[in-house]
Protein backbone atom coordinates (compact mmCIF):
# COMPACT_ATOMS: atom_id res chain seq x y z
CA UNK A 1 0.00 0.00 0.00
CA UNK A 2 1.46 3.35 -1.04
CA UNK A 3 0.20 6.31 0.96
CA UNK A 4 1.30 9.87 0.27
CA UNK A 5 1.00 12.28 3.18
CA UNK A 6 0.50 15.84 1.98
CA UNK A 7 1.29 18.56 4.51
CA UNK A 8 2.20 22.23 4.18
CA UNK A 9 5.20 22.09 6.55
CA UNK A 10 7.49 19.21 7.42
CA UNK A 11 10.97 18.67 8.87
CA UNK A 12 13.24 20.65 9.17
CA UNK A 13 10.31 22.86 10.20
CA UNK A 14 9.34 22.19 13.82
CA UNK A 15 5.84 22.14 15.26
CA UNK A 16 2.94 19.96 16.31
CA UNK A 17 1.72 19.34 12.75
CA UNK A 18 5.20 18.48 11.48
CA UNK A 19 5.87 16.20 14.43
CA UNK A 20 2.58 14.36 13.99
CA UNK A 21 3.13 13.62 10.30
CA UNK A 22 6.75 12.59 10.88
CA UNK A 23 5.83 10.09 13.60
CA UNK A 24 2.84 8.74 11.72
CA UNK A 25 4.75 8.21 8.47
CA UNK A 26 7.73 6.74 10.35
CA UNK A 27 5.64 4.12 12.15
CA UNK A 28 3.73 3.22 9.01
CA UNK A 29 6.86 2.87 6.93
CA UNK A 30 9.07 1.05 9.40
CA UNK A 31 6.61 -1.01 11.46
CA UNK A 32 3.45 -1.50 9.40
CA UNK A 33 4.70 -2.27 5.86
CA UNK A 34 3.11 0.86 4.37
CA UNK A 35 5.04 2.73 1.67
CA UNK A 36 4.49 6.08 3.39
CA UNK A 37 5.90 9.14 1.65
CA UNK A 38 5.54 12.88 2.19
CA UNK A 39 4.89 15.80 -0.16
CA UNK A 40 5.34 19.24 1.35
CA UNK A 41 6.30 22.84 0.53
CA UNK A 42 9.88 23.73 -0.34
CA UNK A 43 10.27 26.60 2.11
CA UNK A 44 9.88 26.83 5.88
CA UNK A 45 7.58 29.70 6.80
CA UNK A 46 9.39 32.78 8.12
CA UNK A 47 12.80 31.42 7.15
CA UNK A 48 15.01 32.37 4.25
CA UNK A 49 16.09 29.88 1.63
CA UNK A 50 14.66 27.09 -0.50
CA UNK A 51 15.00 23.48 0.60
CA UNK A 52 16.20 20.71 -1.76
CA UNK A 53 13.41 19.24 -3.92
CA UNK A 54 13.93 15.75 -2.53
CA UNK A 55 15.13 14.35 0.77
CA UNK A 56 15.00 11.32 3.02
CA UNK A 57 14.10 12.10 6.64
CA UNK A 58 14.27 9.20 9.09
CA UNK A 59 14.00 6.92 6.07
CA UNK A 60 10.84 8.65 4.78
CA UNK A 61 11.04 9.84 1.14
CA UNK A 62 10.12 13.54 0.98
CA UNK A 63 9.26 15.64 -2.09
CA UNK A 64 9.14 19.42 -1.73
CA UNK A 65 7.15 21.58 -4.14
CA UNK A 66 7.28 25.33 -4.87
CA UNK A 67 4.48 27.58 -3.71
CA UNK A 68 3.24 31.15 -3.83
CA UNK A 69 0.77 33.26 -1.91
CA UNK A 70 0.80 33.53 1.87
CA UNK A 71 1.65 31.08 4.63
CA UNK A 72 -2.01 31.21 5.68
CA UNK A 73 -3.08 29.69 2.36
CA UNK A 74 -0.04 28.67 0.29
CA UNK A 75 -0.84 27.79 -3.32
CA UNK A 76 1.01 24.75 -4.71
CA UNK A 77 -0.87 23.16 -7.64
CA UNK A 78 2.26 21.27 -8.79
CA UNK A 79 1.55 18.82 -5.97
CA UNK A 80 -0.57 16.86 -8.45
CA UNK A 81 2.55 15.74 -10.32
CA UNK A 82 3.79 13.91 -7.25
CA UNK A 83 0.78 11.84 -6.13
CA UNK A 84 0.01 9.86 -9.27
CA UNK A 85 1.45 6.60 -7.93
CA UNK A 86 -0.39 6.67 -4.61
CA UNK A 87 -3.02 4.14 -3.63
CA UNK A 88 -4.40 6.74 -1.20
CA UNK A 89 -3.71 10.40 -0.43
CA UNK A 90 -3.70 11.49 3.21
CA UNK A 91 -4.05 15.27 3.55
CA UNK A 92 -3.08 16.91 6.81
CA UNK A 93 -4.86 20.08 8.02
CA UNK A 94 -7.54 22.24 6.46
CA UNK A 95 -5.78 24.50 3.99
CA UNK A 96 -5.08 24.85 0.25
CA UNK A 97 -4.16 21.18 -0.14
CA UNK A 98 -7.44 20.14 1.46
CA UNK A 99 -9.51 22.28 -0.93
CA UNK A 100 -7.35 21.55 -3.98
CA UNK A 101 -7.54 17.77 -3.71
CA UNK A 102 -11.29 18.01 -3.20
CA UNK A 103 -11.56 20.07 -6.39
CA UNK A 104 -9.35 17.73 -8.43
CA UNK A 105 -10.62 14.39 -7.09
CA UNK A 106 -12.71 13.67 -10.23
CA UNK A 107 -9.49 13.77 -12.28
CA UNK A 108 -7.24 12.08 -9.70
CA UNK A 109 -9.67 9.26 -8.96
CA UNK A 110 -7.81 8.49 -5.73
CA UNK A 111 -9.28 7.83 -2.27
CA UNK A 112 -8.78 10.80 0.07
CA UNK A 113 -8.38 10.89 3.85
CA UNK A 114 -7.90 14.09 5.84
CA UNK A 115 -6.70 14.68 9.40
CA UNK A 116 -8.02 17.90 10.90
CA UNK A 117 -5.13 19.02 13.17
CA UNK A 118 -7.27 21.73 14.73
CA UNK A 119 -8.74 23.00 11.47
CA UNK A 120 -7.90 26.67 11.02
CA UNK A 121 -9.33 27.88 14.34
CA UNK A 122 -5.96 28.20 16.06
CA UNK A 123 -6.59 31.83 17.00
CA UNK A 124 -9.53 34.17 17.33
CA UNK A 125 -8.19 36.30 14.48
CA UNK A 126 -10.56 36.70 11.52
CA UNK A 127 -13.15 34.67 13.44
CA UNK A 128 -16.14 35.75 11.34
CA UNK A 129 -14.32 35.10 8.07
CA UNK A 130 -13.18 31.69 9.29
CA UNK A 131 -16.71 30.70 10.26
CA UNK A 132 -17.99 31.81 6.85
CA UNK A 133 -15.21 29.91 5.07
CA UNK A 134 -15.86 26.81 7.17
CA UNK A 135 -19.60 26.82 6.50
CA UNK A 136 -19.16 27.30 2.73
CA UNK A 137 -15.88 26.20 1.09
CA UNK A 138 -14.84 23.73 3.81
CA UNK A 139 -18.34 22.25 3.89
CA UNK A 140 -18.20 21.78 0.10
CA UNK A 141 -14.67 20.32 0.09
CA UNK A 142 -15.29 17.84 2.88
CA UNK A 143 -17.70 15.84 0.69
CA UNK A 144 -14.79 14.76 -1.51
CA UNK A 145 -13.11 12.92 1.37
CA UNK A 146 -13.74 9.29 2.15
CA UNK A 147 -12.85 9.74 5.82
CA UNK A 148 -12.41 12.82 7.98
CA UNK A 149 -10.24 12.05 11.00
CA UNK A 150 -10.58 14.45 13.92
CA UNK A 151 -7.30 14.69 15.81
CA UNK A 152 -9.06 15.58 19.07
CA UNK A 153 -12.50 15.52 20.63
CA UNK A 154 -12.57 19.30 20.20
CA UNK A 155 -12.02 18.89 16.44
CA UNK A 156 -14.71 16.19 16.33
CA UNK A 157 -17.20 18.62 17.84
CA UNK A 158 -16.33 21.28 15.27
CA UNK A 159 -16.44 18.97 12.23
CA UNK A 160 -19.48 16.93 13.25
CA UNK A 161 -21.75 19.56 11.72
CA UNK A 162 -20.33 19.08 8.21
CA UNK A 163 -18.68 15.63 8.07
CA UNK A 164 -21.58 13.30 8.83
CA UNK A 165 -20.89 9.58 9.24
CA UNK A 166 -17.49 9.82 7.57
CA UNK A 167 -16.06 11.43 10.72
CA UNK A 168 -14.08 9.50 13.30
CA UNK A 169 -11.67 10.51 16.02
CA UNK A 170 -8.06 9.38 16.31
CA UNK A 171 -6.14 11.52 18.75
CA UNK A 172 -2.50 12.22 17.99
CA UNK A 173 0.21 10.30 19.75
CA UNK A 174 3.64 11.15 21.04
CA UNK A 175 7.06 9.62 20.62
CA UNK A 176 7.26 7.75 23.91
CA UNK A 177 11.06 7.56 23.79
CA UNK A 178 11.64 11.26 23.14
CA UNK A 179 11.39 12.79 26.62
CA UNK A 180 10.37 9.91 28.86
CA UNK A 181 11.36 10.40 32.52
CA UNK A 182 13.32 13.54 31.57
CA UNK A 183 12.05 15.92 34.27
CA UNK A 184 13.90 16.71 37.50
CA UNK A 185 14.05 13.66 39.75
CA UNK A 186 13.62 15.82 42.86
CA UNK A 187 10.95 18.58 43.01
CA UNK A 188 12.21 21.93 41.79
CA UNK A 189 10.59 25.36 41.59
CA UNK A 190 11.15 25.59 37.83
CA UNK A 191 8.50 25.82 35.13
CA UNK A 192 9.25 25.11 31.50
CA UNK A 193 7.24 26.02 28.41
CA UNK A 194 8.19 24.72 24.99
CA UNK A 195 6.76 25.12 21.51
CA UNK A 196 6.44 27.75 18.82
CA UNK A 197 6.69 31.42 19.84
CA UNK A 198 3.28 32.49 18.50
CA UNK A 199 0.73 34.94 19.94
CA UNK A 200 -2.00 32.32 20.44
CA UNK A 201 0.34 30.38 22.75
CA UNK A 202 -0.02 33.32 25.19
CA UNK A 203 3.54 33.18 26.43
CA UNK A 204 2.96 36.72 27.70
CA UNK A 205 0.84 35.30 30.55
CA UNK A 206 3.71 33.21 31.89
CA UNK A 207 5.56 36.24 33.19
CA UNK A 208 2.80 37.52 35.52
CA UNK A 209 2.48 33.95 36.82
CA UNK A 210 6.19 33.85 37.53
CA UNK A 211 5.98 37.23 39.29
CA UNK A 212 3.16 35.90 41.49
CA UNK A 213 5.12 32.72 42.22
CA UNK A 214 8.21 34.67 43.25
CA UNK A 215 6.11 36.50 45.82
CA UNK A 216 5.37 33.06 47.27
CA UNK A 217 9.00 31.94 47.09
CA UNK A 218 11.93 33.73 45.38
CA UNK A 219 13.38 30.43 44.10
CA UNK A 220 10.82 30.13 41.29
CA UNK A 221 12.16 30.41 37.75
CA UNK A 222 10.96 29.88 34.18
CA UNK A 223 12.56 28.40 31.05
CA UNK A 224 11.00 29.10 27.63
CA UNK A 225 12.26 26.91 24.79
CA UNK A 226 11.16 26.69 21.20
CA UNK A 227 11.16 28.15 17.72
CA UNK A 228 10.77 31.91 17.23
CA UNK A 229 7.86 32.65 14.91
CA UNK A 230 5.63 35.73 15.10
CA UNK A 231 7.40 36.50 18.38
CA UNK A 232 11.17 36.70 18.80
CA UNK A 233 13.31 36.07 21.85
CA UNK A 234 13.77 39.86 22.09
CA UNK A 235 9.98 40.31 22.18
CA UNK A 236 9.69 37.82 25.03
CA UNK A 237 12.61 39.36 26.90
CA UNK A 238 10.78 42.69 26.78
CA UNK A 239 7.64 41.12 28.23
CA UNK A 240 9.66 39.49 31.01
CA UNK A 241 11.21 42.84 31.84
CA UNK A 242 7.78 44.50 32.04
CA UNK A 243 6.78 41.96 34.69
CA UNK A 244 10.05 42.46 36.54
CA UNK A 245 11.12 38.81 36.25
CA UNK A 246 13.80 39.01 33.56
CA UNK A 247 16.48 37.70 35.95
CA UNK A 248 14.48 34.53 36.61
CA UNK A 249 13.73 33.66 32.97
CA UNK A 250 15.92 31.71 30.53
CA UNK A 251 15.30 31.36 26.79
CA UNK A 252 16.46 28.48 24.58
CA UNK A 253 15.84 29.15 20.89
CA UNK A 254 15.67 26.35 18.31
CA UNK A 255 16.65 23.57 20.71
CA UNK A 256 17.43 20.10 19.43
CA UNK A 257 15.56 17.23 21.08
CA UNK A 258 18.63 16.48 23.17
CA UNK A 259 18.97 20.11 24.26
CA UNK A 260 15.28 20.25 25.15
CA UNK A 261 15.61 17.03 27.13
CA UNK A 262 18.39 18.67 29.13
CA UNK A 263 16.13 21.68 29.74
CA UNK A 264 13.34 19.44 31.02
CA UNK A 265 15.74 17.84 33.50
CA UNK A 266 15.80 21.15 35.39
CA UNK A 267 12.01 21.45 35.76
CA UNK A 268 9.09 19.91 37.63
CA UNK A 269 6.32 21.92 35.96
CA UNK A 270 5.12 22.56 32.41
CA UNK A 271 3.10 25.69 31.65
CA UNK A 272 0.89 26.58 28.69
CA UNK A 273 -1.79 29.27 28.63
CA UNK A 274 -2.56 28.73 24.95
CA UNK A 275 -5.78 30.20 23.54
CA UNK A 276 -6.27 27.25 21.23
CA UNK A 277 -4.92 23.73 20.74
CA UNK A 278 -6.23 21.07 18.42
CA UNK A 279 -4.70 18.34 20.57
CA UNK A 280 -2.08 19.75 22.93
CA UNK A 281 0.98 17.78 21.86
CA UNK A 282 3.47 19.66 24.04
CA UNK A 283 1.35 19.07 27.14
CA UNK A 284 1.26 15.31 26.52
CA UNK A 285 5.01 15.24 25.84
CA UNK A 286 5.46 17.10 29.10
CA UNK A 287 3.48 14.41 30.91
CA UNK A 288 5.76 11.74 29.45
CA UNK A 289 8.74 13.60 30.92
CA UNK A 290 7.08 13.56 34.34
CA UNK A 291 6.27 17.26 34.35
CA UNK A 292 3.11 18.48 36.08
CA UNK A 293 1.12 20.65 33.64
CA UNK A 294 -0.27 24.09 34.47
CA UNK A 295 -2.72 24.89 31.70
CA UNK A 296 -5.28 27.34 30.42
CA UNK A 297 -8.87 26.19 30.70
CA UNK A 298 -9.51 25.50 27.00
CA UNK A 299 -11.48 22.37 26.09
CA UNK A 300 -8.55 20.09 25.07
CA UNK A 301 -6.66 20.92 28.27
CA UNK A 302 -9.73 20.44 30.46
CA UNK A 303 -10.19 17.03 28.88
CA UNK A 304 -6.51 16.13 29.33
CA UNK A 305 -6.51 16.99 33.03
CA UNK A 306 -9.83 15.19 33.51
CA UNK A 307 -8.62 12.01 31.78
CA UNK A 308 -5.20 11.88 33.40
CA UNK A 309 -5.97 13.31 36.83
CA UNK A 310 -2.71 15.27 36.64
CA UNK A 311 -2.25 19.03 36.44
CA UNK A 312 -3.76 22.38 37.32
CA UNK A 313 -6.07 24.57 35.26
CA UNK A 314 -6.03 28.36 35.37
CA UNK A 315 -9.14 29.84 36.96
CA UNK A 316 -9.84 32.80 34.69
CA UNK A 317 -7.43 35.67 35.36
CA UNK A 318 -6.80 34.81 39.01
CA UNK A 319 -3.04 34.39 38.66
CA UNK A 320 -2.39 34.88 42.39
CA UNK A 321 -4.69 31.97 43.30
CA UNK A 322 -3.01 29.72 40.74
CA UNK A 323 0.43 30.66 42.07
CA UNK A 324 -0.75 29.78 45.57
CA UNK A 325 -1.84 26.32 44.41
CA UNK A 326 1.52 25.68 42.74
CA UNK A 327 3.51 26.71 45.81
CA UNK A 328 1.27 24.66 48.10
CA UNK A 329 1.72 21.53 45.99
CA UNK A 330 5.45 22.19 45.60
CA UNK A 331 5.85 22.02 49.37
CA UNK A 332 4.34 18.53 49.49
CA UNK A 333 7.32 16.43 48.40
CA UNK A 334 5.43 13.13 48.57
CA UNK A 335 2.58 14.49 46.41
CA UNK A 336 5.07 15.85 43.86
CA UNK A 337 6.62 12.41 43.51
CA UNK A 338 3.24 10.75 43.04
CA UNK A 339 2.16 13.37 40.49
CA UNK A 340 5.39 12.85 38.54
CA UNK A 341 4.80 9.09 38.37
CA UNK A 342 1.12 9.57 37.48
CA UNK A 343 2.06 11.96 34.66
CA UNK A 344 4.33 9.42 32.99
CA UNK A 345 1.79 6.64 33.42
CA UNK A 346 -0.94 8.80 31.84
CA UNK A 347 1.24 9.69 28.84
CA UNK A 348 1.75 6.00 28.03
CA UNK A 349 -1.79 5.90 26.60
CA UNK A 350 -0.69 8.21 23.76
CA UNK A 351 1.51 5.94 21.66
CA UNK A 352 2.19 6.58 17.95
CA UNK A 353 2.45 2.86 17.29
CA UNK A 354 -1.22 2.39 18.17
CA UNK A 355 -2.24 5.61 16.40
CA UNK A 356 -0.44 4.58 13.19
CA UNK A 357 -2.09 1.15 13.29
CA UNK A 358 -5.54 2.72 13.61
CA UNK A 359 -4.86 4.90 10.58
CA UNK A 360 -3.81 1.86 8.55
CA UNK A 361 -7.12 0.24 9.46
CA UNK A 362 -8.86 3.36 8.13
CA UNK A 363 -6.88 3.17 4.88
CA UNK A 364 -7.77 -0.48 4.38
CA UNK A 365 -11.44 0.26 4.96
CA UNK A 366 -11.40 3.18 2.51
CA UNK A 367 -9.57 1.18 -0.16
CA UNK A 368 -11.97 -1.74 0.26
CA UNK A 369 -14.97 0.55 -0.17
CA UNK A 370 -13.31 2.21 -3.17
CA UNK A 371 -12.79 -1.18 -4.80
CA UNK A 372 -16.41 -2.14 -4.21
CA UNK A 373 -17.58 1.18 -5.60
CA UNK A 374 -15.39 0.81 -8.70
CA UNK A 375 -16.71 -2.72 -9.28
CA UNK A 376 -20.30 -1.47 -9.03
CA UNK A 377 -19.65 1.29 -11.55
CA UNK A 378 -18.12 -1.14 -14.05
pLDDT tens-digit series, residues 122-157: 555 556 777 888 889 999 999 999 999 999 888 999
User: How far are the Cα atoms of 124, 133, 217, 277 from residue 161, in angstroms, in the given order?
Assistant: 20, 14, 48, 20
Task: Please check the confidence at residue 354 and state whether its pLDDT lies above 60.
Answer: yes
Residue 82 has what pLDDT? 97
Residue 264 has what pLDDT? 98
* Mean per-residue pLDDT, 156-177: 92
Instruction: Please say whether the beta carbons of 272 and 193 come within 8 A.
Output: yes
Confidence class of residue 41 from pLDDT cuts 50, 70 and 90?
A: very high
Give the Cβ contact number of residue 26 at 10 Å.
18
Residue 280 has what pLDDT? 82
Residue 370 has what pLDDT? 86
Indicate the pairing of strand 54-57 with strand 60-65: antiparallel
Residue 43 has what pLDDT? 97
Confidence class of residue 376 from pLDDT cuts 50, 70 and 90?
A: low
* Mean per-residue pLDDT, 69-96: 96
Spatial separation of the C-alpha atoms in residues 41 and 12, rounded to whole Å: 11
Q: What is the mean pLDDT of the chain?
A: 93
Spatial separation of the C-alpha atoms in residues 362 and 115, rounded to whole Å: 12
Confidence class of residue 316 from pLDDT cuts 50, 70 and 90?
A: confident
Residue 315 has what pLDDT? 83
* Mean per-residue pLDDT, 59-80: 96
Instruction: Please say whether the beta carbons of 293 and 272 come within 8 A.
Output: yes
Confidence class of residue 317 from pLDDT cuts 50, 70 and 90?
A: confident
Task: Please check the confidence at residue 299 and state whether its pLDDT lies above 90.
Answer: no
Query: Domains in the chain, ordered, with CATH?
Result: 2-173+351-377 (3.40.50.2000), 190-347 (3.40.50.2000)
Residue 120 has what pLDDT? 65
* Mean per-residue pLDDT, 9-23: 91
Percent of the chain exceeding pLDDT 90 equals 79
Residue 130 has what pLDDT? 76
* Mean per-residue pLDDT, 105-134: 81
* Mean per-residue pLDDT, 207-235: 96
Question: What's the whole-model pTM score?
Answer: 0.80
Least confident range of 186-190, 262-266, 347-351 = 347-351
* Mean per-residue pLDDT, 36-49: 94
What are the start-end ranges of the H helices in 251-318? 257-264, 281-289, 299-308
Task: Please check the confidence at residue 121 and state whether its pLDDT lies above 60.
Answer: no
Amino acid sequence: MKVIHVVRQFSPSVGGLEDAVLNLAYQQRHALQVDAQVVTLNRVFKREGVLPPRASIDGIPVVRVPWCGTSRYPLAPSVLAHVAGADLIHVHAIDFFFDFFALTKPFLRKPLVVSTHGGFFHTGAYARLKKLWFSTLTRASVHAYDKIVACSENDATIFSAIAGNRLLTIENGINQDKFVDASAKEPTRTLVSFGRFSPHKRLDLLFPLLAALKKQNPEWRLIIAGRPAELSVADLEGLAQKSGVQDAVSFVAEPSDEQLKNVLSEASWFASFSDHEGFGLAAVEALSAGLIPVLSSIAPFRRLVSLTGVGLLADGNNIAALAGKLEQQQQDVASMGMQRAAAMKAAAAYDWKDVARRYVDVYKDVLRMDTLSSSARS
